[in-house]
Chains A and B, each alone.
Chain A
Amino acid sequence: MPNETEQTGFSGEVPSPSFLVWIGELGVFTTRLVRSIFAPPFHFKELFQQMHEVGTRSLPLVVLASAATGVVLSLQTRESLVRFGAKSLLPVVIILTIIKESGPIITALVVCGRVGAGIGAQLGSMKVTEQIDAIEASAVDSFKLLVVTRVVACVLMLPLLTIVADFSGILVGWLANTMVEHVPLVPFLADGFKPVTFQDLIPATLRTALFGFIIGLLGCFQGLRTTGGTEGVARSATSAVVLSSLFVIVADVWLVRLIQIVFRP
């Protein structure tokens, strides 16, 4: 990557690549990333810093988004279930929906917006101001320092954030429900979790590690392809968010089907 950036300040070079070239470059980038993850040196300090950036700093937003989803889910589902005389199923429906789908996808989309844009803009800015070249000139592998740490941080933090999002969604879902009709928390949870198995919880939560990989990968990839100053940085940040959101949704479709096949009860 940085050895042949062809970013020269020279006029008229490097035509904008086609979609196929983009796919090819993404493939090469992904291969290098997977190889680099397991090869020393490991930048643990930078990794912990990125985990803080991705995890701790995203926490309030994830909790808020998930809580809002819990409220909406509770109110909407309640109305439908009452109509069909199945009100007693409300805790199960809320908990299963949050654990299996809304928790993971809401977390991933929030992180796409916050972290994906941040990575794209930060690396883009570092690229156009030659900071990445400066790292390389200091004989430090910029790919391992910047890309590997960010992607691994996303992979590790997404499942943890999802667990918090699930917790927040369920709790606030119960709160919204109990404001309409009082149900104590313990029976609500006991009823709701009765049919839930580890096969519902583990694959659904762990699939967000792949979402994390997608967010980190596309944020870094788009950031490092930045050209053209401030406008280019803005373009990279936007494309990082749009592409990672799109790829996460597509991956979700495939993973849900895959999980259903592999973990068929």
Chain B
Amino acid sequence: MKPTTDQTAAIRITDLCKTFGSQTVLNRVNLQVKRGETLVVLGRSGTGKSVLLRLLIGLQRPDSGSIQVLGQEITELLEEPLYDIRKRIGFVFQNSALYDSLTVVENVAFPLKYHRRMTASQRHDRALEILSQVGMDQAAAKMPTDISGGMKKRVGLARALALEPELMLYDEPTAGLDPITSGEINELILKLQQERAMSSIVVTHEIHSAAAISDRVALLDQGSIVFDGTFEALKQSDDAFVSLFVRNG
């Protein structure tokens, strides 16, 4: 039976399965994110966290199960309606995925160019405004190859914010960064959540990020959600794997 459309949840995932060859990556995953809520998905490297995000935005298709994003079932959507949903979602890639032939400001202006009726100068001004919100307006004219990893993350975040999304998906936003830059990115994410009241899913393996930004935490292990609750509850869990993860995080 098809799950009914839920207008109160930003995301509702039901019995989601995904395999690659003989390897089961996600096995009957059930998750829900309320509107305005920040869910942090924790898990070891290679447990399918990034695959989960890619399924949520339709970059990959699940084998079975249901994914409702912003009230719409996306697993069977054709290209055009899927693009309409994507306009309402911001995606921050693990390695930033900035367009290396464009400058920083052109990267941020890219979604505006295709989805907003603006002149080139209006687009440029709007992109600069978004860059200033993430503290990157000074680097607007630079090429992505000329900025640091932390700066790239900020620009990636600015690009994801360009269309004022209702839902943000972050794939390892602090991976590979030093603790101070990592803390700055977490603060930036928190600030944006508070200012814009967006729903968010943050995929990470870093416990301190979860502590800083989560309303709720889900822990993924071997394709299944083994914990779903607050960060406080995670710390106090008796489950052997959860305890091990928290202790070593």
Contact = CB atoms under 8 A, between A and B. Distances in A.
B23 A13 contact: yes
Interface string B19-41: 01101010000000000000000
Interface residues of B, number: 35
A140 B91 CA distance: 13
Given A15-B21, A136-B59, A3 B79 contact: yes
A138 B110 contact: yes
A119 B19 CA distance: 32
Interface in A211-238: none
A38 interface: no
Contacts of B94: 130
Nearest to A122: B101
Interface string A7-19: 0111111110000
A181 interface: no
B46 A137 contact: no
A138 B59 contact: no
Contacts of B126: none
Nearest to B78: A3
B51 interface: yes
A259 to B, nearest CB: 39
B13 to A, nearest CB: 18
B51 A10 contact: yes
Interface in B87-124: 87, 89, 91, 93-95, 97-100, 110-111, 114-115
A15 B57 CA distance: 25
Most B C-beta atoms less than 10 A away, residue of A12, A15, A136, A137? A137
A139 B60 contact: no
A191 to B, nearest CB: 49
A131 B60 contact: no
B44 interface: no
The 5 closest A-B pairs by CB, nearest first: A13-B20, A130-B97, A139-B86, A134-B97, A137-B91
